[in-house]
Amino acid sequence: MKRPGPARTLVVLGLFLVCSSPVFSYAGPAKLQAAPPRAKVRTSGPTTTDLSRLKLRRNILTIRLEKGFFEFVEMMDFENEGSATIVSKGGAPTLRFVLPKSSNIRNPRARWGAAPAGLDPKFLTSVENEIRTSEPIPPGRKFIVLLYRLEDEFGGIRVEKPILYDTPSFVVMPEKDRVQAQAIGLAAQPAVEFQNREYNRFVGTANAGTVVRVDMQAPDSMGGLGVFYVVGGVVVVLSLGLGLYIRKRRNTAYSAQVEREEVLRAIALLDDRLAAGDISADEHANERAPRFERLKELSD
């Protein structure tokens, strides 16, 4: 399958961002209101409840790091290829969106950053980590943008993104030099620049019912850990070296003390033998002189 080039990706990305600029201002978790139980749907022309004509042409996922959170902007390009407006059947959703989850032990759930752009709020319902809409989908293109965030963790996290719709173009774009990421099963492509930011790209297809996994971390997540290991290793080596040096000094001092005591005993024994007449004065002087010199060396 032919993959979209960088220029085409940038055009689509620019169109998404122009259409959805309000969602980039994060002001705390979004409060999504449920749709009225019996919202009146007004449509013109033919209608259908058949969802098979609804296609996801492109799904782009950008990832940025902001104050300890990975901020996701998910942009979806849907198209109703039919000639009839798709409407809800008995209150069933016409579109569904599920938040990803991460390996963060404390906070694995993603949080909505804003209400979805491109969807009518009066048709939205929120069920745990899922958003559903029952709004009519007329023929033609429909652009939807979601903003959510996941908390970072020391050493990085693995993100699992459930896929609900087949798409021939699934693109993961982590910000270069700010987010270290690897999208498993997607092909790495040349980086692209947009709005003074550079993004790496991972491109491939995605099938409904599968899960896309992305390993990501802040540059300092492993950098700090590496520094910790290096500093820790240096401290251990220095501690061992200092310990060996101190031990050697102690052993040397102890050995010198033992030898000094032995030399003193030898000199005292020579003096006693001279006094007892066991050795002559010359013998005493010859044997005592080197021992006395050694004693002076040990006493310095």
Q: What pLDDT shows up at residue 43? A: 66
Q: What pLDDT shows up at residue 32? A: 52
| 203 touches 12 (CB < 8 A) | no
Q: Are residues 158 and 255 in the same domain?
A: no
Give the residue from 162, 196, 217 where a domain finishes: 217
Give the residue from 217, 249, 282 where a domain finishes: 217
By CB atoms closer than 10 A (0-12, 13-18, 19+), residue 275 is exposed
Q: Are residues 117 and 239 in the same domain?
A: no
281-299 helix and 219-276 helix, angle to the nearest 10 degrees? 160
| Within a domain: 1 | no
Q: Are residues 137 and 14 in the same domain?
A: yes
Q: Are residues 197 and 292 in the same domain?
A: no
- Per-residue pLDDT reduced to its tens digit, 203-231: 999 999 999 999 999 886 544 555 556 66
More confident residue, 266 or 252: 266
Domain region containing 74: 6-217
pLDDT band at 288 (very low <50, low <70, confident <90, very high): confident
Is the pLDDT reported for residue 139 higher than 90? yes
Q: Are residues 247 and 208 in the same domain?
A: no
More confident residue, 83 or 68: 83
Distance CA(55)–CA(34), nearest Å, equals 25
Distance CA(172)–CA(183), nearest Å, equals 7
- Per-residue pLDDT reduced to its tens digit, 257-281: 777 778 778 878 878 888 888 888 8
Q: Are residues 28 and 51 in the same domain?
A: yes
pLDDT band at 17 (very low <50, low <70, confident <90, very high): very low
Q: What pLDDT shows up at residue 300? A: 67
Q: Are residues 126 and 237 in the same domain?
A: no
- Helix H or strand E segment including 158: strand 157-162
| Within a domain: 29 | yes
Q: What pLDDT shows up at residue 207? A: 96
Give the residue from 173, 189, 217 where a domain finishes: 217
Average the pLDDT over 150-169 and give the result.
Answer: 93
Q: Quick one: how far is CA 142 from the chain centroid?
A: 33
pLDDT band at 242 (very low <50, low <70, confident <90, very high): confident
Q: Are residues 145 and 236 in the same domain?
A: no
Q: Are residues 138 and 244 in the same domain?
A: no
Is the pLDDT reported for residue 197 higher than 70? yes
The CATH number covering residue 114 comes to 2.60.40
| Within a domain: 15 | yes
Q: What pLDDT shows up at residue 59? A: 96
The pTM (predicted TM-score) of the whole model is 0.64
- Helix H or strand E segment including 31: none
Q: Are residues 150 and 248 in the same domain?
A: no
Q: Are residues 168 and 235 in the same domain?
A: no
Q: Are residues 204 and 105 in the same domain?
A: yes
| Within a domain: 212 | yes
| 43 touches 83 (CB < 8 A) | no
Average the pLDDT over 168-184 and give the result.
Answer: 94
Q: For the chain, how many structural domains are there in total?
A: 2
